[in-house]
Amino acid sequence: MDIPKELEEVINITRQENQWRRTETINLIASENVMSPTAEAVYMSDFMARYAEGKPYKRFYQGTKYADEIEVLAMNLMNDITPAKFSDLRPISGTIANAAVFRVLGNPGDKALIAPVQAGSHVSHTKFGTLGTLGIEHIEMPYDKDRMNVDVDKAGKMIEEIRPKFVVLGGSLYLFPHPTKELSPYVKSVNAKLVYDAAHVYGLIVGKVWSNPLDEGADYMTTSTHKTFPGPQGGSILSNNEEDFKKVSRTIFPWFVSNHHLHRLPATAVALIEMKYYGKEYATQIIKNAKKLAEALAERGFNVIGEHLGYTKSHQTAVDVRKFGGGAKVAKLLESANIIVNKNLLPYDSPESVNDPSGIRIGVQEMTRFGMKEGEMEEIADLFKQIVVENRDINEMKKKVSEFRKQYLDIKYTFNVDLSSYSTKSIPMII
């Protein structure tokens, strides 16, 4: 039979995505990353078709001996490089990791304190998301405008007064570290638990440029494995306390997953190995690039937030683009020139303006992975200026952006593995 038209269409859409996002765009979405070719090669494996309910070596199915081996290996690597005493890689996303921890720590009707939305808390921490669906009430801690962070003194008092079941730190728009060490004694004093959601910054933590919250008093760390950490989309829960860890770990199956997308495991292991050897270098460059991009944008007339604090200590920078028509308009304009960012609420925006916020959020982790350094950040800032400030011809800008991007197509901070020497068949990505 001839190849049906629908099938052609599927292959074509996939090819176009690969071409556009991998070779033509400057991707600055702060929550994304790409895997190395080696990680992608092991991701495309038989594991993607299998089940392994339960824990390694205590499964409910047969046929899992290699799944057991790879899961233990990945968890050991994760414990080693985080470092943490215990980890569970079965949550298939950061949201599922949060759901498991929140569910174990709180019952419907209980209270949880979270970082204020202005300090970047994630929707899964709120009554609109995972926490709310579990029937747990969220109460935002007070915000310190000047430090662009949780107000430690007021939040400490609030913890003592409200006596929540748990406190959540970590966020999504997130320029400066949340005060884990400072709030931990308050949390302990009311017998609550401290959960640190490291979804965005886990790669910075294993790269040793962001404090490990487990060293600063967090009882749990939840994370995604695909933001600054360059693994497959997935999640994890980590802890240094066996009792705390076991309470959550025993709920993952059967409460939150049946299969846990086993093909993530070898790919996560590859990313962990890459971060073990290159993590420090990679994460250090990310931080330098974020700061450089913030400075370069400010020099070119953009209102980059957090100037008095040095703009950023993370992989992100945030820009107030109201004078150019607002976040929604500017993000669309940039997309039409092949620069991908997202519109974002800024700390002083009202939550109602979520569809047309003042700002855009920019993350440099993916472009750093393709080898970009401070010089390239200056070039990206030039492109921003030409597109947004000078309103130059969009088609010409699109071409210019693609030409620039095509100089950076190889992933760095990885090992050159000759994959053909392991394979009799090759399934290359269709670009």
Ligand X SMILES: *Cc1c(COP(=O)(O)O)cnc(C)c1O
| 374 annotated to bind ligand | no
Is residue 195 classed exposed, middle or buried when 0-12, 13-18 and 19+ CB atoms within 10 A define those classes?
buried
Of these, 77, 84, 155, 199, which contacts ligand X (CB under 6 A)? Answer: 199
Show the tokens assigned to 104.
């174990």
Binding span for ligand X by CB under 6 A among 67-75, 197-205, 238-246, 247-255 = 197-205
Using rule CB under 6 A, residue 74 touches ligand X: no
Classify 61 as helix, strand or coil: coil
CB-nearer residue toward ligand X: 291 or 315: 315
Minimum Å gap between C-beta 228 and ligand X is 10
Using rule CB under 6 A, residue 172 touches ligand X: yes
CB-nearer residue toward ligand X: 31 or 212: 31
Using rule CB under 6 A, residue 31 touches ligand X: yes
- Taking the CA atoms of residue 201, residue 350, residue 97 and residue 18 in that order, the dihedral angle to the nearest 10 degrees is -60
Minimum Å gap between C-beta 318 and ligand X is 14
CB-nearer residue toward ligand X: 106 or 235: 235
Of these, 95, 126, 236, 386, which contacts ligand X (CB under 6 A)? Answer: 95
Beta carbons of 249 and 88 less than 8 angstroms apart:
yes
Using rule CB under 6 A, residue 171 touches ligand X: yes
Beta carbons of 22 and 431 less than 8 angstroms apart:
yes
Question: Which element (helix H / strand E) includes 319?
Answer: strand 316-320
CB-nearer residue toward ligand X: 170 or 326: 170
Place of tokens 């590859």: 270
What x/- string results for residues 111 through 130 when contact with ligand X is judged by CB under 6 A?
-----------x-x------
Using rule CB under 6 A, residue 314 touches ligand X: no
Using rule CB under 6 A, residue 363 touches ligand X: no
CB-nearer residue toward ligand X: 227 or 369: 227
Place of tokens 């980059």: 304
Using rule CB under 6 A, residue 197 touches ligand X: yes
Of these, 106, 164, 179, 235, which contacts ligand X (CB under 6 A)? Answer: 235
Q: Which residue is nearest to ligand X (CB)?
A: 94
Positive or negative torsion for Cα 52, 57, 63, 65: positive
DSSP structure string for 97-153: HHHHHHHHH--TT-EEEE--GGGT--GGGSTTSHHHHTTPEEEEPPEETTTTEE-HH
CA atoms within 13 A on the CB side of 378: 2
Positive or negative torsion for Cα 22, 28, 29, 34: positive
CB-nearer residue toward ligand X: 94 or 347: 94
Using rule CB under 6 A, residue 170 touches ligand X: yes
Beta carbons of 172 and 245 less than 8 angstroms apart:
no
Using rule CB under 6 A, residue 177 touches ligand X: no
Of these, 94, 164, 203, 230, which contacts ligand X (CB under 6 A)? Answer: 94
Using rule CB under 6 A, residue 224 touches ligand X: yes
Beta carbons of 181 and 132 less than 8 angstroms apart:
no
Question: Which element (helix H / strand E) includes 297?
Answer: helix 264-299
In the complex, the residues that contact ligand X under the rule CB under 6 A are: 31, 93-95, 98, 122, 124, 170-172, 197, 199-200, 224, 235
Annotated binding-site residues for (6S)-5,6,7,8-tetrahydrofolate read 243
Annotated binding-site residues read 243
